[in-house]
Amino acid sequence: MQAMQMFSRAQEVTANNLANINTPGYKSDKLFQQLLTEQVDGEQVTRTAPMQQVSLEQGQLEPTGNDFDFAIDGQGFFMVEDDGEAQLTRNGRFHLDPDGYLRTGDGANVMGRGGHIHIPESFHAMDNGQQEAQLEVAKDGTIRINDEAFDQLRVVRVEDPSQLERRSAARFAAGNATLLPQDPESKVMQGQFEKGNVQTLHEMTDMMRNMQMFEAQQRAMRSTDEMLSQATNQLGRF
Same domain, 132 and 73: yes
Does position 161 have pLDDT exceeding 90, yes or no?
A: no
Give residue 9's pLDDT: 82
Task: Show Cβ contacts of residue 83 under 8 Å, excluding neighbours closer than 6 positions.
Answer: none
Same domain, 74 and 168: yes
Give residue 34's pLDDT: 66
Same domain, 65 and 129: yes
Give residue 36's pLDDT: 63
Same domain, 8 and 75: no
Q: Which of residues 47 and 221 earns the better pLDDT score?
A: 221
For 102, the domain range is 61-194
Does position 94 have pLDDT exceeding 70, yes or no?
A: yes
Work out how many domains the chain is built from and give that number: 2
Same domain, 109 and 125: yes
Percentage with pLDDT > 70 across the chain: 88
Same domain, 164 and 74: yes
Confirm if 94 and 103 have CB atoms less than 8 A apart.
Answer: yes
Amino acid occupying residue 139: K
Cα angle 140, 146, 150; round to 5: 50
Task: Tell me the chain's radius of gyration from C-alpha atoms.
Answer: 25
Neighbouring-strand partners of residue 86: 81
Same domain, 35 and 132: no
Confirm if 191 and 136 have CB atoms less than 8 A apart.
Answer: no
Residue 127: pLDDT band (50, 70, 90) is low
Same domain, 49 and 110: no
Same domain, 164 and 217: no
Give residue 43's pLDDT: 77
Does position 97 have pLDDT exceeding 80, yes or no?
A: yes
Same domain, 46 and 16: yes
Rounded average pLDDT over 85-97 = 93
Same domain, 163 and 181: yes
Rounded average pLDDT over 102-119 = 91
Confirm if 52 and 29 have CB atoms less than 8 A apart.
Answer: yes
Give residue 126's pLDDT: 54
Same domain, 10 and 122: no
Tell me the pLDDT of the chain averaged across its residues.
84
The alpha helices in the chain, defined as continuous H runs, are: 2-19, 121-125, 200-235
